[in-house]
């Protein structure tokens, strides 16, 4: 759906038949995406395609990415987050969830920066995607070492 602000166009005043008019009109436009899953569509399924580090050694921030694909027929409202567990101390740090929508057949890569406030050491990192299913969530685990 597109909403556009328009001004009424006025003709020339007619006093000079050879006059040419020029004007600039500012307009504002909003685009609203409207989605609907019919009530009869109940197939909610998703697949975790990959969980990997995408940053390079020269990057200032380390970045992990979860790639998710919607294999169902319904639009998925997803929430994804990372949970870091320090392997020596056992302390947990759960990151704020990132919400996104995934259309049927589509895939999306969600990127997370590793927090700079984590202490040094080895971590077990759990990547979780909750896609709205009552029975299932997607999860993958990897180890990272912070130096």
Q: How confident is the model at residue 2 (pLDDT cuts 50, 70, 90)?
A: confident
Backbone torsion region of residue 58, taken as left when φ is above 0, otherwise alpha when ψ lies between -120 and 50, otherwise beta:
alpha
Tokens (6 digits) for 74:
């319904």
Residue ranges of the alpha helices (H) in 38-86? none
Tokens (6 digits) for 105:
């057949």
Which residue, among 10, 37, 13, 12, has the nearest Cα to 103 in the 3D structure?
A: 37
pLDDT in tens, 50-94: 999 998 888 889 999 999 999 999 999 999 999 999 999 999 999
Strands 76-86 and 63-70: unpaired
pLDDT in tens, 34-55: 877 788 887 889 999 999 999 8
Cα separation, 80 vs 88, in Å, equals 26
Indicate if the pLDDT at residue 23 is higher than 80.
no
| pTM of the shown model | 0.73
Return the CATH number of the domain spanning residue range 46-146: 2.60.40.10
Task: Give me the phi and psi of 23, to 5 degrees please.
Answer: -155, 160
């Amino acid at each position: 759906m597109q909403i556009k602000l328009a001004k009424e166009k006025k003709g020339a005043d007619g006093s000079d038949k050879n006059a040419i008019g020029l004007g600039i009109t500012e307009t504002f436009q909003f685009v609203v995406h409207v989605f609907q899953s019919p009530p009869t569509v109940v197939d909610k399924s998703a697949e975790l395609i990959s969980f990997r580090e995408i940053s390079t050694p020269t990057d200032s921030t380390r970045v992990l990415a979860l790639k998710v694909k919607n294999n169902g027929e319904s639009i998925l409202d997803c929430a994804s987050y990372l949970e870091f567990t320090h392997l020596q101390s056992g302390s947990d740090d759960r990151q704020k969830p990132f919400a996104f929508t995934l259309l049927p057949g589509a895939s999306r890569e969600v990127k997370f920066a590793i927090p700079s406030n984590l202490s040094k050491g080895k971590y077990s990192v759990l990547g979780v995607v909750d896609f709205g299913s009552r029975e299932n969530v997607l999860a993958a685990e990897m180890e990272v070492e912070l130096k």
